[in-house]
Structure 1
């Protein structure tokens, strides 16, 4: 209850010193507002949850070097906006690539060669997924192959949904690095 009486500036000072309760209070104050703000601009519940969660994870991870110019609220809103703009920009690039790929497919050139390349790419992706750490691989396969939600995976493996979300996100980052952006965007 004591933390509710602190100002945002005081909470930031305590956060910089590693006070997790200060982070919890900031999260309590701003999580709902940021989610609503983001969802109005980008109506994908899972992606918006991930964005908001990442903002607070980054807030904690960068607490020692945090530079908040105006107010904490403005900083958080700007962080959400920038993250959403990055996602939208990435989706545009991905859509352009998919459109280009679709045009190539529509032309129907070299179908046999494409099948061989597709099999090779699938083998490569399976190989890289198999190289993930055991729990990360299990969570990733449950998410992608069994189409289970983060909540369902968390319940089945007795983990927190945040852990599941983090493991899936980390798996995607690892695969993106290992496979390269082009191959990664085809499959994920």
Structure 2
């Protein structure tokens, strides 16, 4: 029976390639703590380091026949752990960027949604106050602001003088400004 503890790394690698479980166990026992320490230095998370080392040894066993080890098994294992660490860090960075962009999108959408809600509330308030205007004044005002007709076009359509149309619009604006306040009034004239 072989004493695996006395066998060199190169011989263990050859035995591993041929499917020798004892060689695999010896490689594991020889390097697991060193590789774990190396992974922990980078990750600062014991569970993450343990997972990295575990995944390395699983891959080492499942791909044993196709692996070509250099002259130095320990260098191969350290390089393999380092590559896995870089993959995890890269994945974490991508995940973090994704989460940050998702949060920014949510924040932006929340802001847009809040803005739309406020705009809708403001529009309803303005519509309520316009509906409270005297009938002829409201009709003139709506043709002016909603239909965007000129004073002359409104005068022709309603058989009024341009002066009367102008007065109705001015009075409507004065009433709405008084009832709605400056912010709502500015919103009204900008839309």
The superposition leaves residues 103-132 of structure 1 with CA deviations (integer Å, 9 ceiling, x where unpaired) of: 111120459xxxxxxxxxxxxxxxxxxxxx
Q: Which runs of 5+ in 2 are unaligned?
A: 115-191
Distance, in Å, in 2 between the alignment partners of 1:84 and 1:28 is: 20
Query: What SS does the aligned partner of 1:30 have?
Result: helix
Task: Please say if 1:69 is aligned against 2:70.
Answer: yes
The superposition leaves residues 165-186 of structure 1 with CA deviations (integer Å, 9 ceiling, x where unpaired) of: xxxxxxxxxxxxxxxxxxxxxx
Give the TM-score normalised by the residue count of structure 1.
Answer: 0.57
Distance, in Å, in 2 between the alignment partners of 1:73 and 1:79 is: 10
Q: Would the aligned equivalents of 2:10 and 2:71 in 1 still touch at CA under 8 Å?
A: no
Aligned to 1:176: none
The superposition leaves residues 63-104 of structure 1 with CA deviations (integer Å, 9 ceiling, x where unpaired) of: 111111231000000000000000111111111111111111
Distance, in Å, in 1 between the alignment partners of 2:12 and 2:71 is: 15
Distance, in Å, in 1 between the alignment partners of 2:104 and 2:71 is: 48
Distance, in Å, in 1 between the alignment partners of 2:16 and 2:54 is: 17
CA RMSD of aligned residues (A): 1.4
Distance, in Å, in 2 between the alignment partners of 1:78 and 1:39 is: 15
Runs of 4+ in 1 over 3 A off after TM superposition: none
Distance, in Å, in 2 between the alignment partners of 1:110 and 1:35 is: 49
Aligned to 1:53: 54
Aligned to 2:17: 16
Distance, in Å, in 2 between the alignment partners of 1:81 and 1:110 is: 46
Q: CA deviation at 1:36?
A: 0.4
The superposition leaves residues 31-77 of structure 1 with CA deviations (integer Å, 9 ceiling, x where unpaired) of: 00000011011111111111101111111111111111231000000
Q: Would the aligned equivalents of 2:56 and 2:80 in 1 still touch at CA under 8 Å?
A: yes
- Map 1:97-136; keep pairs closer than 5 Å: 97-107=98-108, 108=110, 109-110=112-113
- Equivalent pairs, count: 111
Q: Which runs of 5+ in 1 are unaligned?
A: 112-188
Aligned to 2:8: 7
Q: Max radius of gyration: which structure?
A: 2
Distance, in Å, in 1 between the alignment partners of 2:70 and 2:29 is: 21
